[in-house]
């Protein structure tokens, strides 16, 4: 065949393939046009997953009658004029190809009236050919109806999934814009049913509550200055939004939503920054929930990487990564990971209970020595003894501010299944996982030692113990010598693949050194790509796991009290270093509810 220029309909169809992959892509483009037109209300209505019909209605500027035919022409746009404009894009669209592309593969009806014109225009395009144009009445704004998508591209049509799946994709798209533009009222209707409607209040949390559910919204932690008016994008990344309480973890990254200058983006690195911010807050292999906005000078990012614009390229990706991680981490560390109940229900107490409880708590101090958990050396100061003038009843009168601590004073009641400690606090019942709790206690202790002395306290072995390891583990010993040393190990090369263990971390004293070292090395072998401080933290986590009291071990009352006391003194008492919860808290209110008292 000779070379020839393709007829415009064919070229359009090819271009359409890039922009319009499925009904959700149509919805995305139409919503973006509505937002670019300054709409305050956007109504999205679909039928049969958008395959039969998509209708997007807005109250934006509308299109002047004279420009309507241009709107559906390829590379016709009102948003940029010169190549320089591409350097700093401030609208969602700019390529001028969405309406043309959509029109080339569907039956498209555009009804619009410009704010300053008296009558509107109705334009019908079928498979890229304008069928007719007429003057009609229409409120200021635009309605676009797209029917019979891909009717003339059977190959594409075949790739469409069931209406349900396509509707699912559309749901995601509308949700993203609702979260990106909380000041816009979004209504989403599928097959005649209102799926959701945002209030358009301008408060991100209101949109989160509608899109993700009230329950989830109630467990979100604000990041940065959330409810500020939407700022001009600054030169340095500004990060704000909401992240889920660590208790809200999910099996995949799907609940991490990131917006750059209000554009939903897919960026593995940035979602990784959020995941990393949850380090030690979440169980391994679990992911947080997050709605994070990044504001950045548009000149510092290229959104013109792909026609769908979900991928962007930052000029300084590391700065953006660091800003996101720092902001999320700061929010998490600041906020108590387990929420105090908001309701004003108090644990009712019999007369004299408070005094009795206080004396029980104090009695607990004296038995510290009976402790047989491997935590003996210099137990930290007890939280009760820190306060020289204990108020008569402090935790009971101010349950949400347990003297600036994250955990109120707890009274140990007993042990369940040789695994959980049952305790009572000023507002309800606490079930504590003894292993997780002990891991947390040891972790903070070792981290503090490392910070204070540059290394974890070690226990010299009376006679060095030889150990032979396979080549993988030998490689680990060599590679991580410094981290091992800082964590309390002294391991010396003795021969090929043979080492002498001279010291182990003091918390592990009494344990079989060979097994300890082997287990720690195996743990390290799984921590690929981790270096520096993070690696040492992981190493310490491994040591704590090994050293902590196990589930299934019967504890004496004194041991339980000592453990709970030390947990109370922790900075982050609610999760173990792997991020699993150390405790369940059943509030007085929840108990009252369960017993039908409320
Ligand atoms: P782009 O958004 O990249 O400019 P489109 O093909 O999506 O390209 O739209 C072409 C033009 O049509 C836009 O530049 C805009 O001027 C006009 N337009 C499209 N949709 C709307 C709308 N909902 N309200 C007002 N104008 C619109
Ligand atoms: Mg557009």
Nearest CA to ligand 1 atom 19: 33
Distance between CA 46 and CA 94 in Å, rounded? 25
Closest ligand (CA of 113):
1
- CA of 28 relative to ligand 2 center, distance in Å: 9
Probe residue for ligand 1, chosen from 66, 80, 99, 113 as the CB with the greatest number of ligand atoms within 8 Å: 99
Q: Give pLDDT tens digits for 521-544.
A: 988 888 777 777 788 888 999 999
Query: Hey, where are the domains in the chain?
Result: 8-197, 219-335, 406-598
Atom of ligand 1 nearest to the CA of 34: 23
- CA of 570 relative to ligand 1 center, distance in Å: 56
CATH topology of domain 8-197: Heat Shock Protein 90 (3.30.565)
- CA of 7 relative to ligand 1 center, distance in Å: 24
Q: Which residue has the higher pLDDT, 381 or 478?
A: 478
DSSP 86: G
Nearest CA to ligand 1 atom 12: 71
Closest ligand (CA of 35):
1
Q: Which residue has the higher pLDDT, 39 or 287?
A: 39
Atom of ligand 1 nearest to the CA of 100: 6
CATH topology of domain 406-598: formyl-coa transferase, domain 3 (3.30.1540)
Closest ligand (CA of 114):
1
Per-residue pLDDT for 558 more than 80? yes
The secondary structure of 171-202 as a DSSP string is HHHHHHHHHH-TTSEEEEEETTEEEEE----S
Nearest CA to ligand 1 atom 1: 96
Probe residue for ligand 1, chosen from 30, 89, 93 as the CB with the greatest number of ligand atoms within 8 Å: 93
Phi, psi of 304 (to 5 degrees): -95, 45
The overall average pLDDT reported for the chain is 84
Q: Rounded to 5 degrees, what angle do the CA atoms 455, 457, 458 make?
A: 110
Instruction: Calculate what percentage of the chain has a pLDDT beyond 70.
Output: 87
Of 26-35, 187-196, 345-354, give the lowest mean pLDDT range.
345-354
Q: Are 291 and 204 in contact (CB under 8 A)?
A: yes
Distance between CA 414 and CA 431 in Å, rounded? 10
Q: Give pLDDT tens digits for 157-193.
A: 888 889 999 999 999 999 999 999 999 999 999 999 9
Distance between CA 108 and CA 56 in Å, rounded? 12
- CA of 71 relative to ligand 1 center, distance in Å: 6
Question: How many CB atoms within 10 Å of residue 200?
Answer: 19
Closest ligand (CA of 74):
1
Selection from 130-144, 232-246, 386-400 with the highest mean pLDDT: 130-144
Query: 3-class SS at 555?
Result: coil
Per-residue pLDDT for 356 more than 70? no
- CA of 543 relative to ligand 1 center, distance in Å: 60
Global model pTM greater than 0.75: no
Q: Enumerate residues lining ligand 1, CB below 6 A.
A: 29, 33-34, 37, 58, 60-63, 71, 76-79, 93-100, 142
Q: How confident is the model at residue 374 (pLDDT cuts 50, 70, 90)?
A: very low
Q: Give pLDDT tens digits for 280-330.
A: 788 777 889 999 999 999 889 887 776 666 788 999 999 999 999 999 998
Q: Are 519 and 539 in contact (CB under 8 A)?
A: no
Q: Are 505 and 459 in contact (CB under 8 A)?
A: yes
**Which alpha helices (H) appear in 222-346, and where do they start and end?**
268-277, 317-334
Q: Give pLDDT, residue 279.
A: 79
Parallel, antiparallel, or unpaired for β 428-433 and 458-468? unpaired
Longest dimension (CA), the chain: 100
Per-residue pLDDT for 234 more than 60? yes
Nearest CA to ligand 1 atom 8: 96
- CA of 39 relative to ligand 1 center, distance in Å: 12
In the block, which residue shows the tokens 């670019």?
Answer: 36
Q: Are 187 and 43 in contact (CB under 8 A)?
A: yes
Work out the burial of residue 182: count CB atoms within 10 Å of its CB; fewer than 13 is exposed, 13-18 middle, 19 or more buried. buried
Phi, psi of 555 (to 5 degrees): -115, 145
Nearest CA to ligand 1 atom 20: 33
Per-residue pLDDT for 505 more than 80? yes
Chain-centroid distance of CA 406 in Å reads 22
DSSP 557: H
- CA of 33 relative to ligand 1 center, distance in Å: 5
Distance between CA 25 and CA 16 in Å, rounded? 10
Nearest CA to ligand 1 atom 16: 78
Class of domain 219-335: alpha beta
- Lookup: tokens for 113: 């009236």
The DSSP H or E segment spanning 205 is helix 204-212
- CA of 83 relative to ligand 1 center, distance in Å: 18
Nearest to 383 by CA among 342, 430, 441: 441
Atom of ligand 1 nearest to the CA of 94: 3
Q: How far is CA 123 from CA 36, 76, 282, 328, in A?
A: 20, 16, 54, 48
Nearest CA to ligand 1 atom 7: 98
- CA of 150 relative to ligand 1 center, distance in Å: 21
Distance between CA 436 and CA 574 in Å, rounded? 9
Per-residue pLDDT for 364 more than 70? no
- Lookup: tokens for 598: 């409320």
Distance between CA 19 and CA 23 in Å, rounded? 11
**Which alpha helices (H) appear in 134-184, and where do they start and end?**
154-159, 163-180
Q: How confident is the model at residue 354 (pLDDT cuts 50, 70, 90)?
A: low
Distance between CA 162 and CA 554 in Å, rounded? 56
Parallel, antiparallel, or unpaired for β 420-425 and 458-468? unpaired
In the block, which residue shows the tokens 């109630």?
Answer: 218
Nearest CA to ligand 1 atom 14: 77
> Mean pLDDT over residues 244-266, rounded?
89
- CA of 26 relative to ligand 2 center, distance in Å: 10
Per-residue pLDDT for 421 more than 60? yes
Work out the burial of residue 543: count CB atoms within 10 Å of its CB; fewer than 13 is exposed, 13-18 middle, 19 or more buried. buried
Closest ligand (CA of 68):
1
Of 36-45, 72-81, 268-277, 370-379, give the lowest mean pLDDT range.
370-379
- Lookup: tokens for 464: 């060095």
Probe residue for ligand 1, chosen from 16, 32, 77 as the CB with the greatest number of ligand atoms within 8 Å: 77
Q: How far is CA 44 from CA 12, 30, 181, 596, in A?
A: 25, 9, 15, 43
Atom of ligand 1 nearest to the CA of 92: 2
Q: Are 465 and 494 in contact (CB under 8 A)?
A: no
């Amino acid at each position: 065949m000779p070379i020839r220029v393709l007829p415009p309909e064919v070229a359009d169809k090819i271009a359409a393939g890039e922009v319009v992959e499925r009904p959700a892509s149509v919805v995305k483009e139409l919503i973006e046009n509505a937002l670019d037109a300054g709409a305050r209300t956007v109504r999205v209505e679909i039928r049969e997953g958008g395959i039969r019909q998509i209708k997007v209605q807005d109250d934006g500027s509308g299109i002047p009658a004279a420009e309507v035919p241009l709107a559906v022409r390829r590379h016709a746009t009102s948003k940029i004029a010169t190549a320089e404009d591409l350097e700093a894009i401030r609208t969602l669209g700019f390529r001028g190809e969405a309406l043309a592309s959509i029109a080339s593969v569907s039956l498209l009806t555009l009804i619009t009236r410009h704010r300053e014109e008296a009558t509107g225009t109705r334009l019908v395009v079928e498979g890229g050919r304008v069928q007719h144009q007429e003057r009609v009445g229409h409120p200021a704004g635009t309605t676009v109806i797209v029917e019979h998508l891909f009717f003339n591209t059977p190959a594409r049509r075949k790739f469409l999934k069931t209406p349900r799946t396509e509707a699912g994709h559309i749901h995601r798209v509308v949700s993203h814009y609702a979260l990106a533009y909380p000041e816009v009222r979004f209504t989403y209707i599928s097959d005649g049913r209102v799926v959701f409607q945002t209030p358009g209040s301008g408060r991100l949390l209101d949109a989160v509550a509608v899109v993700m559910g009230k329950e989830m919204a109630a467990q979100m932690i604000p990041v940065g200055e959330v409810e500020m008016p939407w700022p001009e994008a600054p030169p340095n990344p500004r990060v704000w939004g909401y992240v889920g309480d660590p208790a809200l973890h999910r099996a995949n990254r799907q609940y991490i939503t990131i917006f750059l200058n209000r554009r939903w983006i897919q960026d593995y690195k940035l979602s990784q920054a959020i995941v990393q911010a949850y380090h030690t807050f979440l169980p391994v292999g679990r992911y947080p929930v997050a709605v994070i906005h990044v504001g950045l000078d548009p000149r510092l990012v290229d959104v013109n990487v792909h026609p769908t614009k979900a991928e962007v390229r930052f000029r300084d990706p590391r700065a953006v990564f660091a800003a996101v991680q720092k902001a999320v981490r700061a929010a998490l560390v600041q906020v108590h990971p387990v929420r105090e109940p908001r309701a004003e229900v108090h644990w009712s107490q019999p007369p004299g209970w408070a005094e009795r409880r206080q004396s029980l708590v104090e009695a607990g101090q004296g038995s510290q020595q009976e402790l047989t958990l491997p935590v003996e050396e210099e137990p930290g100061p007890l939280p009760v003894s820190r306060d020289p003038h204990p108020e008569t009843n402090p935790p009971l009168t101010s349950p949400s501010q347990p003297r600036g601590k994250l955990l109120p004073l707890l009274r140990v009641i007993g042990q369940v299944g040789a695994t959980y400690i049952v305790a009572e606090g000023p507002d309800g019942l606490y079930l504590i996982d003894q292993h997780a709790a002990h891991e947390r206690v040891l972790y903070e202790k070792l981290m503090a030692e490392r910070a204070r002395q540059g290394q974890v306290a070690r226990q010299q072995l009376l006679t060095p113990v030889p150990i032979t390891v396979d080549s993988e583990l030998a490689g680990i010993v060599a590679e991580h010598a410094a981290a091992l040393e800082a964590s309390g190990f002294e391991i010396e090369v003795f021969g090929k693949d043979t080492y002498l263990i001279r010291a182990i971390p003091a918390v592990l004293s009494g344990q079989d050194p060979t097994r300890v070292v082997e287990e720690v090395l195996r743990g390290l072998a799984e921590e690929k790509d981790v270096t520096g401080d993070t690696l040492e933290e992981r190493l310490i986590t491994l040591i704590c796991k090994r050293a902590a009291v196990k589930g299934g071990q019967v504890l004496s009352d004194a041991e339980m009290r000592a453990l709970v006391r030390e947990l109370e003194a922790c900075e982050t008492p609610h999760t173990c270093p792997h991020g699993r919860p150390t405790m369940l808290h059943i509030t007085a209110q929840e108990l009252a509810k369960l017993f039908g008292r409320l």
